[in-house]
């Protein structure tokens, strides 16, 4: 299993410095195969009062949304949750569950931020950089930045801005529901992110890939 943080001394300060460095390597240009054939959703949950970390991955056909494969892995939790350092806590399990898939997805959707992060490296961006798999962050809440409320129309979105530049979108994936925070990770253009996510939204607030991964990681089913 490759360590996601080669040379990290374990301190939060070093983690932040590493994020700033890695963020400069993120590429905001569509770098995925077109047309997309597969998309996978990833999420992490915890058991045993947090002592065990569980990561789930669900691979879908990008057009039919048919589930092709579901995987789940468990490893000991290594770090507590620290705002801004989520990837250092969740990436090890996420990389393992990616390896558990029989095929690499053309695109990955992760629960959390892409570049809409204090130093530009949310868990989705870090995952994309570490794996080379194009990624998008689909979060339920803002971590950094702000933007106007999108109209209450399915598919409406507005720009999320931070430090004077756009870092993502506020996307009304479902009528009368709080908008999702969508931000590109690695190898996905800002202009593509929101439309891509809407492609896999059906009748729920979350797009199918992460919604299904959520269910697996959060206890409801297994396998």
Partner DNA sequence: GCGACAG
Partner DNA sequence: ATCTTGTCGC
Residues flagged as binding site for Mg(2+): 43, 111
* Site for DNA contains 205 (CB under 7 A): no
Indicate whether 53 belongs to the interface with DNA (CB under 7 A): no
Comparing CB distances to DNA, the nearer of 72 and 217 is: 217
Size of the site for DNA (CB under 7 A): 28
Tokens of 193: 């992110």
Neighbours of 128 (CB within 10 A): 28
Q: Which residue has the tokens 């961006």?
A: 125
HSE, side-chain direction, 13 A CA sphere, residue 81: 9
Contact pattern for DNA over residues 62 through 101, marking x by CB under 7 A:
-------------------x-xxxxx--------------
Stretch that binds DNA, among 1-9, 41-49, 67-75, 192-200 (CB under 7 A): 41-49
For DNA, the closer of residues 78 and 103 by Cβ is: 78
Which residues make Cβ contacts (< 8 Å) with residue 58, sequence separation at least 6?
Answer: 40, 41, 67, 69, 70, 71, 209, 212, 213, 216
Identify which of residues 140 and 199 has a Cβ nearer to DNA in the complex.
Answer: 140
Residue 178 interacting with DNA (CB under 7 A): no
DSSP string, 76-133: E--S---TT-HHHHHHHHHHHHHHHSSS--SEEEEES-SS-STTS--HHHHHHHHH--
Q: Considering beta carbons, is residue 62 or 216 the nearer one to DNA?
A: 216
The reply to whether 219 sits near DNA by the rule CB under 7 A is yes
Structure tokens at 96: 């393992």
Residue 163 is a binding residue for DNA (CB under 7 A): no
Output the smallest distance, CB 118 to DNA, in A. 8
Which is closer to DNA, CB of 36 or CB of 52? Answer: 52
CB within 8 A of 102, min separation 6: which ones? 69
**Binder among 23, 26, 139, 212 for DNA (CB under 7 A):** 139
The count of C-alpha atoms lying within 13 angstroms of the C-alpha of 149, restricted to the half-sphere facing its C-beta, is: 7
Chain residues binding DNA by CB under 7 A are 43-46, 81, 83-87, 111-113, 117, 122-124, 137, 139-143, 176, 214, 217-219
């Amino acid at each position: 299993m490759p360590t996601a943080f080669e040379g990290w001394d374990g301190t939060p300060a070093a983690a932040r410095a590493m994020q700033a460095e890695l963020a400069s390597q993120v590429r905001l240009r569509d770098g995925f195969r077109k047309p997309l054939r597969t998309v996978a959703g990833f999420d992490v949950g915890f058991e045993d009062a947090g002592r065990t970390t569980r990561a789930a991955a669900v691979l879908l056909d990008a057009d039919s949304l048919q589930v092709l494969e579901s995987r789940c892995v468990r490893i000991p939790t290594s770090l507590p949750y620290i705002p801004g350092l989520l990837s250092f806590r969740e990436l090890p399990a996420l990389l393992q569950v990616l390896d558990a898939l029989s095929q690499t997805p053309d695109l990955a959707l992760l629960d959390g931020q892409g570049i809409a992060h204090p130093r530009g490296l949310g868990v989705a961006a870090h995952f994309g950089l570490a794996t080379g798999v194009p990624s998008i962050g689909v979060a339920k809440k803002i971590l950094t930045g702000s933007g106007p409320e999108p109209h209450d129309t399915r598919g409406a979105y507005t720009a999320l801005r931070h430090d004077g530049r756009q870092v993502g979108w506020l996307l009304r994936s479902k009528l009368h529901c709080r908008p999702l925070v969508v931000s590109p990770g690695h190898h996905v253009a800002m202009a593509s992110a929101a439309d891509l996510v809407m492609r896999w939204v059906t009748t729920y607030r979350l797009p199918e890939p992460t919604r299904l991964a959520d269910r697996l990681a959060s206890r409801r089913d297994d396998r």
